[in-house]
Amino acid sequence: MTHPVPAGAPGAGAMVTSALPLPLVRRGKVRDVYAVGDDRLLVVASDRVSAFDVVLAEPVPAKGAVLTQLTAWWLRQLDGRVPHHMVSADATEIVAQLPELAPHARALAGRAMLCLRAEVFPVECVVRGYLTGSAWKEYRHAGTLAGEPLPGGLRESERLDPPLFSPATKAETGHDENIPRAAVVERLGSVAAAELERLSREVYAFGRDVAAARGILVADTKFEFGRRAGQLLLIDEVLTPDSSRFWPAAGYAPGRPQPSFDKQPLRDWLEGERAAGRWNGDAPAPPLPAEVVQATSARYLDAYRRLTGSELDVALTR
Ligand SMILES: Nc1ncnc2c1ncn2[C@@H]1O[C@H](COP(=O)(O)OP(=O)(O)OP(=O)(O)O)[C@@H](O)[C@H]1O
Ligand SMILES: [Mg+2]
């Protein structure tokens, strides 16, 4: 069913590609999405990892389970505050509802989420609490974000108070593009646009406070929303290392880039290969050494542990 990595190879036990007896809706860079009847989805987070917009050949063990279980952890806390798409992230429960998946239960453990299917708004709802990434790049050159002026004199990684709602278009390929809030109103109407901003700010503020108490800064994060039976739903992954920049609070200082919590070993190694002239920055990337794969896996597990205060159940990571 899945395509497991051979024992002994880097990433052994990890999943590159799922293959389930359900209609495949799409394969993203990281997640495989299947239809469950007309109105639900099974979202399966693989252990694929991307860096510098290139998907690496080697999977990162436990990464898919971290993404799914961290999203589930946040969504449970948002129950009753923000309507969301999660039905279950417990493979035993999912298999009980979908007996045709029984032969795949082990492969799904930890990484699968049964969701309510929504009509996705074509806008990435980014909230920025610190000035970094594409926002810093534009600000440094033009003093603006998505063409709109920001206060002068901000430094790289500076805290933004209040946080900025910074929508972007969902690009089919390549980088997402930051757009002004007026463009969201144009696309979705003022009522939906205001609601997306309100919910994005609320979820970000909640996540920022929880993470801060655990020594993690949520520099920025991306949410997706959809509509279902006239109601807005928070969908997709929520406050994970793949949808957010997490920085260790210890050692934070504006005026320079901050180390990222998760893919830093991977990025550092790839940068080294590039600097040495062994990689030109395009796909395919050079094969990752086992210790880089392991270090990256450990970072994802550490992000889960630090945020939730518990170890990810290892039964969910194989
Ligand atoms: N409840 C939902 N209803 C409908 N679509 C959803 C729901 N939850 C998530 N999705 C969609 O499922 C997909 C998840 O896949 P994934 O994040 O791997 O790929 P992507 O974001 O489309 O592309 P990539 O990450 O490769 O740039 C996204 O397209 C997301 O919009
Ligand atoms: Mg995505």
For the chain, how are helix, strand and coil distributed in percent, rounded to 5?
35, 25, 40
Tally Cβ neighbours within 10 Å of residue 130.
24
Q: What CATH code is carried by the domain that includes residue 196?
A: 3.30.470.20
Residue found by looking up tokens 């394969």 in the block? 27
278 inside domain: no
Cα(246)–Cα(260) distance, rounded to whole angstroms? Answer: 6
Are residue 113 and residue 193 in the same domain, yes or no? no
Are residue 130 and residue 102 in the same domain, yes or no? no
Are residue 31 and residue 133 in the same domain, yes or no? no
The token pair at 308 is 């939730």
117 lines ligand 1 (CB under 6 A): yes
Q: Which of 69, 97, 117 delimits the end of a domain?
A: 117
Are residue 73 and residue 131 in the same domain, yes or no? no
108 inside domain: yes
Q: What is the pLDDT of residue 103?
A: 96
Q: Check: CB of residue 140 under 8 Å from CB of residue 266.
A: no
Residue 174 has pLDDT above 50, yes or no: yes
Q: What is the pLDDT of residue 4?
A: 54
Q: Which residue has the higher pLDDT, 310 or 262?
A: 310
Residue 90 has pLDDT above 70, yes or no: yes
Mean pLDDT of 111-115: 98
% the chain with pLDDT above 90: 88
Are residue 235 and residue 140 in the same domain, yes or no? yes
84 lines ligand 1 (CB under 6 A): no
In sequence order, what are the residues at sequence separation of 6 or more whose Cβ sits closer than 8 angstroms to the Cβ of residue 37? Answer: none
224 lines ligand 1 (CB under 6 A): yes
Helix axis angle for 290-308 and 63-78, nearest 10°, is 10
Residue range 177-205, pLDDT digits in tens: 999 999 999 999 999 999 999 999 999 99
Cα(128)–Cα(156) distance, rounded to whole angstroms? Answer: 13
Within the chain, residue ranges assigned H as helices are 63-78, 91-97, 105-108, 133-142, 181-188, 190-212, 264-275, 290-308
Q: What is the pLDDT of residue 143?
A: 97
267 inside domain: no
Q: What is the pLDDT of residue 164?
A: 97
Are residue 223 and residue 239 in the same domain, yes or no? yes
Residue found by looking up tokens 């239960």 in the block? 105
Q: What is the pLDDT of residue 12?
A: 56
From residue 90, alpha-carbon distances to 13, 14, 26, 294 in Å are 20, 18, 22, 26
Cα(218)–Cα(307) distance, rounded to whole angstroms? Answer: 11
208 lines ligand 1 (CB under 6 A): no
Q: Which atom of ligand 1 is nearest to the CA of 115?
A: 1
105 inside domain: yes
Residue 9 has pLDDT above 60, yes or no: no
89 inside domain: yes
Q: Which of 117, 142, 165 delimits the end of a domain?
A: 117
| Residue 261 banded pLDDT, cuts 50, 70, 90 | confident
The token pair at 252 is 């934070």
Cα(184)–Cα(125) distance, rounded to whole angstroms? Answer: 10
In this structure, which residue's CA is closest to atom 9 in ligand 1? 236
In this structure, which residue's CA is closest to atom 10 in ligand 1? 236
Mean pLDDT, the chain, integer: 93
Total domains in the chain come to: 2
Q: Which of 189, 221, 248 delimits the end of a domain?
A: 248
The token pair at 186 is 């144009």
Q: What CATH code is carried by the domain that includes residue 82?
A: 3.30.200.20
Q: Which residue has the higher pLDDT, 260 or 85?
A: 85
Residue 173 has pLDDT above 90, yes or no: no
Cα(83)–Cα(231) distance, rounded to whole angstroms? Answer: 8
| Residue 1 banded pLDDT, cuts 50, 70, 90 | very low
Q: Check: CB of residue 262 under 8 Å from CB of residue 246.
A: yes
Residue range 207-257, pLDDT digits in tens: 999 999 999 999 999 999 999 999 999 999 999 999 999 999 999 999 999
Mean pLDDT of 256-285: 93
Q: What is the pLDDT of residue 5?
A: 56
In this structure, which residue's CA is closest to atom 23 in ligand 1? 28
Q: Check: CB of residue 56 under 8 Å from CB of residue 24.
A: no
Ligand index nearest the alpha carbon of residue 170? 1
311 inside domain: no
In sequence order, what are the residues at sequence separation of 6 or more whose Cβ sits closer than 8 angstroms to the Cβ of residue 115? Answer: 40, 41, 42, 43, 85, 86, 87, 235
Are residue 66 and residue 144 in the same domain, yes or no? no
Are residue 57 and residue 138 in the same domain, yes or no? no
% the chain with pLDDT above 70: 94
Torsion of CA 9, 14, 20, 25, to 10 degrees: -110
234 lines ligand 1 (CB under 6 A): no
Q: Ligand 1 center to residue 193 CA distance, Å?
A: 20
85 lines ligand 1 (CB under 6 A): yes
Cα(137)–Cα(177) distance, rounded to whole angstroms? Answer: 13
229 inside domain: yes
Q: What is the pLDDT of residue 7?
A: 54
Are residue 107 and residue 178 in the same domain, yes or no? no
Are residue 145 and residue 113 in the same domain, yes or no? no
Are residue 201 and residue 107 in the same domain, yes or no? no
84 inside domain: yes
Ligand index nearest the alpha carbon of residue 244? 2
64 lines ligand 1 (CB under 6 A): no
Q: What is the pLDDT of residue 53?
A: 86
Are residue 201 and residue 163 in the same domain, yes or no? yes
Domain that holds residue 69: 1-117
226 lines ligand 1 (CB under 6 A): yes
Question: Best substitution site from 56, 224, 227, 234 to test ligand 1's pocket, by max atoms within 8 Å of Cβ?
Answer: 224
Torsion of CA 160, 161, 165, 168, to 10 degrees: 0
